[in-house]
Structure 1
Amino acid sequence: MRLFHYHYWTPQPKEMEDFYTSNGFTVKLRIGKKNGQFETFNPPLTWDDFQPNPPLFRTIEMVLGSINVTFGFGKSAKFDHLGFLVSQEEYDSICKNAESLSLKVEEGERRTFIYTPFGFKIELQRRADAVPSLDGRKISKMVLITGDQEIPQLFQNLLSEIPTELEFKPGEMTTVGLVEFDSPAEMEGTDPCGVVLNY
């Protein structure tokens, strides 16, 4: 099991893209709505090409090694989900645990979401090709600020064991507080949603 992904809604998608680009990430995908239709606006297109009326971006996907960060337009900054790459055996076990916990499981061909009662989801990804590079940079530590003291126990019950890279810290609302990477780089700062990057 590998923690590789997190997703936010944000009123500042361009600023988010700029921040992660400045920290070594590259844009893999942009999906936005323009003139009532969803289209892709992938590189080599840049934000300069979208002016003066940029699309309403539903998803911008950025990658670095095995790390995947996505975000889309929202009225306020809001943590939506985090994602784990899992084996088929881990997947079956987690889904069985979710059923015993009466959690909604939304299975899809590309990914599966488990809905928690705390306003965020957990993504299960079985396709290794969905992770940019299994041998590349990876998340070595993620601190999840927990607005409810029951959240760590939920992860324990759902995943059977909490991944070593995932830590919890109490706070007023549930959000990602800190993400650290596995090797040194010129990478630090706080993204527009309040996530601190460090190494």
Structure 2
Amino acid sequence: MSDPTLFHLHFNTPDVTVAAERLADAGLQLQRRFGSVRGDSIALGPDDRTPDDFRLKLQTHQYGAVNITLAPGQQPRFDHFGLQVADIDEVCANAESRGWSVRSNDRRTFVMTPWGFRVEIHPTAGDVVAELDESAVARLDNVVLRVPAVSPVRKAFKDVFESVPELRIESGEEPWIHSFAIDENRTTTTIPVRTLLDEEDTPT
């Protein structure tokens, strides 16, 4: 079975605009904004005018096979990352055998880890993956996940998801994406999440 591919990161931040500008500097342009106007759901393209009373729920930024979601939040927070997997049913079975919760809807499946964050999984031939550009254009690499108990997390991840080549699991005070890299052609841009989310008190 082929290894899964990490292609998606989701963060909450008090200042979506600042984070979006920093993603744009790294080549990740705004793709779509989702929110509501007086209770009615609405989706906006990058060049659409923002309606009066628009309340942003989240927005996506994309470049090559890299997809980053930013959502408003009172504090900087890492919510989840997304994987392409060859056999979604096998991953779900692996997770459930460990007592982890699995939640699905028509578009995505979430595996709820015991460490306070989720993993979103998609089949390699699914609609979400089909919306990405080629990984040869750009791809995520060297995504550094910091957790308090490194060895158990590494083992559990391998047991449930198989090896994730783009993911490095290191020691930290709480679950947090410390940094990630965008590889394009022969250029690599590393983005520290602390800088991206513009908060001095984010985990290091």
Q: TM-score range by the shorter chain?
A: 0.7 to 0.9
Could you list the per-position Cα deviations for residues 38-93 of structure 1 after superposition, in whole angstroms to 9, with x for gaps in the alignment?
212322136xx56xx77332110000100000011111111111111122xx2122
Gaps of 5+ in 1: 195-199
Match in the other structure for 1:158: 160
Contact 2:38–2:53 (Cα < 8 Å) also in 1 = no
Alpha-carbon separation, structure 2, partners of 1:22 and 1:115 = 32
Contact 2:182–2:188 (Cα < 8 Å) also in 1 = no
Contact 1:32–1:57 (Cα < 8 Å) also in 2 = yes
> Is the aligned partner of 1:44 residue 2:47?
yes
Letter in 2 for 1:57: L
Measured on the aligned residues, the alpha-carbon RMSD in Å equals 2.2
Letter in 2 for 1:22: D
Match in the other structure for 1:76: 75
Alpha-carbon separation, structure 2, partners of 1:147 and 1:76 = 20
Contact 2:29–2:63 (Cα < 8 Å) also in 1 = yes
Contact 1:112–1:125 (Cα < 8 Å) also in 2 = yes
Post-superposition offset of 1:193: 5.8
Identity of aligned residues (%): 25
Alpha-carbon separation, structure 2, partners of 1:178 and 1:21 = 16
Alpha-carbon separation, structure 1, partners of 2:56 and 2:114 = 27
Gaps of 5+ in 2: 200-204
Match in the other structure for 2:120: 123
Alpha-carbon separation, structure 2, partners of 1:163 and 1:74 = 28
- Distance change (3 Å), C-alpha of 1:144 and 1:25: same
Letter in 2 for 1:142: V
Pick from 105, 108, 112 the counterpart of residue 108 of structure 1: 105
Match in the other structure for 2:179: 178
Alpha-carbon separation, structure 2, partners of 1:31 and 1:145 = 29
Alpha-carbon separation, structure 1, partners of 2:102 and 2:64 = 28
Match in the other structure for 2:62: 63
